[in-house]
Chain A
Amino acid sequence: MKKEKIIYLDNNATTKVDLKVVREMTPFFTELYGNPSSMHFFGGKVQAHLDTARLRIANLLGAKPEEIIFTSCGTESDSTAIFSAIRVNPEKKHIITTVVEHPGILNVCKYLESFKGYKVTYLKVDAEGRISLDELKGAITEHTAIISIMWANNETGVIFPVEEAAKIAASRNVLFHSDAVQAAGKLPINLENSKIDLLSVSGHKIHAPKGIGALYIRKGTIFAPFLIGGHQEKGRRAGTENVPYIAGLGKAAELAAKNLKKENSYVKKLRDKFEQGVLKTIKNVRINGQGADRLPNTSNISFEYVEGESILIFLSEKGICASSGSACASGSLDPSHVLLSMRVPLTFAHGSIRFSFSVYNTEDEVDFVLKELPAIIKKLRIISPFAEGKPLFGEVKTES
């Protein structure tokens, strides 16, 4: 069978598992399969590997090993953090977050709002996707149970000033959580020197497999577990530890910490080359969040007058994998909530594609995409009734 050509530029969705990670995991399926909670030597042997993994993830985050618990995914870490905060502060019925959070936070907040009588403040973002710390300061009240702000946005890569935000929270005695799923392994994180209380990490965004995550819980933080049952993770997360995946996450964290600087400058070079190439070869495009600090690997580009799903399918024909905040591709009918809250004009918002790079991408791949993309956009613009910057009919509402 002919090997399919895959140019994978969707690394914010998930990543390829590093072979070193796979090798690290393998023995725990068939050889070291003991339960770390068991009293016998065979369990104890496995326990030692859990400790190693915990230390490795702690090192990536600048934390102490005992401040890390393992979860099943980033979403579980997010839910654990929010529900813990509201359980330990039952009298406080207010939450602060941002309009651009991942559904893992956003939908928990909406649930609490709709069914549990909570008030939620959603911090706005400006045209570049940035929040205002002044708005945050003004939003905190004596009823605020927790503030949750993502470290970096999954769609645009825009980075938020979470360390400053956490200081503000601490000065008002409010718990602070950050969803760092997109930031971990891509940005240096040092929690020891920060006021962040809770922080979520996901394995499959950093070349570990899907189905494993971690939650940082600052020492001294009053905490209520999400999963209740056995005594695992010192009672902070019940359920037998997913040992092979935890070992994998540990290895991925170790590799990320070691290579972060080198890999990021490489990935950033690819991303910047790509963006410059697009701007040079295609008219009527905009790079969303370009004016803000962004993750080095993420590029969110809007192509005016064409629709995102159509672009994705033509790219996919060429073996190029990207993703779209377009309404049609996601099954919702509105374009991405992130781009809409940045007030990206609708002429652009429907045609937004996210390209997210990793260390496995090459310059040749970038060249190939740059070669194919202009023809795809051109083809769709020929079909589109909105020609070259001028709509032919209909009222076009564009927001400033």
Chain B
Amino acid sequence: MWDYTKKVFDHFKNPRNVGEIENPDAIGEIGNLVCGDALKLTLKIEKETEKILDAKFKTFGCVSAIASSSALTEIIKGKTLKEAVKTTNNEIAEYLGGLPDEKMHCSVMGMEALLAAEKNYRGIKPISSASGFAEKTVCKCFNVSESKILKAIESNNLKTVEEITNYTKAGGGCGKCKGEIEKIVANYWEKKERKKFSSMTVVEKIKHIENVLSEKVNPKLKKDGGWVELVDLNGNIIKVRFMGVCSGCPSSGQTLKNVVEKELREKVDKALTVVT
């Protein structure tokens, strides 16, 4: 049996704000029967202040899905729409005293329904139907897009495929997309790391550059019998020395730009220049 909190059980057994508002000002719909859970959120919004006067939900799903929906409506009632959409899935989970890891996707569903309702209120149609350009679906079993995965990574600091499955369901069906998810999460953190280059200390910068040289650059050069060493770092200018057969090789100038500099710009910082 899942380790649900008392509060989760309370919101499951006595869900607040069940139903549908007649003539709602905003509707947010998320999920479907294939996924095994779905939430329809309807809102009454005061025009002048954009204050959420009332919120009601209908949910198809498990204990934590129903409890998360109920919690969501309680959290957002009385807030302005602008304030309300800042609600994160973590706040929903915290409101319930926490959710089991495997059930975090239920809180994500609540947050998504709210964002869908805001879009609906502001007259923004979902991307897929507005432009005929559907967003890239990563997980076909549960219809999870790349942007949903990235958002979950960002707001919940996710590091592994398993965590992403817990929060978004992606990868939890046939599992074929797990490789792709792994790439998405690796790319995300790699980019994040890269942004930090300018704020690194000198030692961190040197270590990072040496790491890229030994893991990305030198394996390529060693195929031809050479390698490269870091000599100095001055601002954004990196000085290196060619070793082995590369030293004195007539095409080493090309290698310097097309291999060494290219890799370092990609993996470390765009602004870098490499010289010998």
Residue B108, interface by CB 8 Å = no
Residues of B within 8 A of A35 (CB): none
In chain A between 347 and 397, which residues have their CB closer than 8 angstroms to a CB of chain B? Answer: 347, 350, 382-386, 391-397
Selecting from B54-62, B236-244, B247-255, the interface stretch reads B54-62
CB <8 Å contact, A310 and B31: no
- Quick check: A310 and B61 within 8 Å, CB to CB? yes
8 Å CB contact of B34 from A326, A328, A392, A397: A397
Tell whether A1 is near chain B: CB-to-CB under 8 Å: no
Report the bound CA distance from A5 to B48 in whole Å.
Answer: 55
Contact of A394 (CB < 8 Å), options: B12, B18, B32, B64: B32
Query: Contacting chain A: which of B89-97, B165-173, B202-210?
Result: B165-173
Task: Tell whether A332 is near chain B: CB-to-CB under 8 Å.
Answer: yes
**Residue on A nearest B32 in the bound complex, by CB:** A394
Bound Cα distance A393, B41 (Å): 12
Cβ of B13 to closest chain A Cβ, rounded Å: 7
In the complex, B142 has a CB within 8 A of chain A: yes
- The reply to whether the CB of B141 lies closer than 8 angstroms to some CB of chain A is yes
Query: Is A220 close to B, CB under 8 A?
Result: no
- CB contacts (< 8 Å) of A347 on chain B: these are 33
In whole angstroms, what is the CA distance A356 to B15 when docked? 30
Q: Is the CB of B12 within 8 A of A313?
A: yes
Residues of B within 8 A of A305 (CB): 60
CB-CB nearest in chain B for A382: B18
- Complex Cα spacing A5 to B32, Å: 36
Partner of B62, one of A329, A391, A397: A329
| A333, chain B: closest CB distance, angstroms | 3
Q: Write out the residue numbers on chain B whose beta carbons fall within 8 Å of the beta carbon of A398.
A: 33
C-alpha spacing A317/B169, complex, angstroms: 28
Q: Does B152 contact A (CB under 8 A)?
A: no
Measured between alpha carbons, how far is A334 from B37 in the docked complex, in Å? 11
Cβ-defined contact, B32 with A396, below 8 A: yes
Q: Are B29 and A393 in contact (CB under 8 A)?
A: yes
Q: Identify which of B12, B59, B62, B102 contacts A384 (C-beta below 8 A).
A: B59
- Identify which of A308, A382, A386 contacts B33 (C-beta below 8 A): A386
In this assembly, does A346 line the interface, its C-beta being within 8 Å of a C-beta of chain B?
A: yes
Contact across chains for A383 and B15 when beta carbons are under 8 A apart: yes
Query: Interface residues of B, CB < 8 Å — how many?
Result: 32
User: Contact size class for A?
Assistant: 20 to 34
Q: Specify which of B62, B142, B165 is in contact with A309 (CB 8 Å cutoff).
A: B62
Are A392 and B40 in contact, with the CB atoms below 8 A? yes
Name the interface residues of A100-146: CB closer than 8 Å to any CB of B: none
- Smallest CB-CB separation from B31: which chain A residue? A394
Q: How many A-B residue pairs have CB under 8 A?
A: 91
Q: Which residues of A contact B43 (CB under 8 A)?
A: none
In the assembled complex, which residues on chain B have CB atoms less than 8 Å from the CB atom of A391?
Answer: 33
Q: Which chain A residues border B169 with CB–CB below 8 Å? A: 333
User: Contact flags (1/0) for A303-321 with B, using CB distance below 8 Å?
Assistant: 0011111100110010000
A350 contacts B141, CB within 8 Å? no
Is B33 within 8 A of A397, CB to CB? yes
Among residues of A, the one whose C-beta sits closest to the C-beta of B171 is A333
Instruction: Using CB atoms, name the residue of chain A closest to B103.
Output: A328
Within residues 6 to 24 of chain B, which ones have a CB less than 8 A from any CB in chain A? Answer: 9, 12-13, 15, 18
Min CB distance B224 to A, Å, is 37
In contact, A307 and B18 (Cβ under 8 angstroms): no
The verdict on B65 contacting chain A, using a C-beta distance below 8 Å, is yes
Q: Answer yes or no: A90 CB below 8 A from chain B CBs.
A: no
Q: Complex formed: what's the CA distance from A326 to B66 in Å?
A: 15
Q: Which of B29, B33, B142 has the most CB of A within 10 A?
A: B33
Q: Is B38 an interface residue (CB 8 A)?
A: yes
B64: chain A residues at CB < 8 Å are 328
CB closest chain-A residue, reference B59: A383
Chain A residues closer than 8 Å to B141, beta-carbon distance: 333-334
Which residues of B, 158-187, contact A by the 8 Å Cβ criterion?
Answer: 165, 169, 172-173
B142 touches A326 (CB 8 A): no
> Chain A nearest CB: distance from B126 CB in Å?
12
Alpha-carbon distance A331/B172, docked complex (angstroms): 10
Q: Is B132 an interface residue (CB 8 A)?
A: no
User: A335 interface residue, CB < 8 Å from B?
Assistant: yes
Residues of A within 8 A of B61 (CB): 307, 310, 328
Q: Which B residues touch A392, using CB under 8 A? A: 40, 58
Q: List 23 A-B contacts (CB under 8 A).
A: A309-B63, A310-B61, A310-B62, A313-B9, A328-B36, A328-B62, A333-B141, A333-B142, A333-B172, A334-B141, A334-B173, A335-B36, A347-B33, A383-B15, A384-B58, A384-B60, A385-B39, A392-B58, A393-B29, A394-B29, A394-B31, A395-B32, A398-B33
Chain A positions within 8 Å of B, measured between CB atoms, are: 305-310, 313-314, 317, 326-329, 331-335, 346-347, 350, 382-386, 391-398
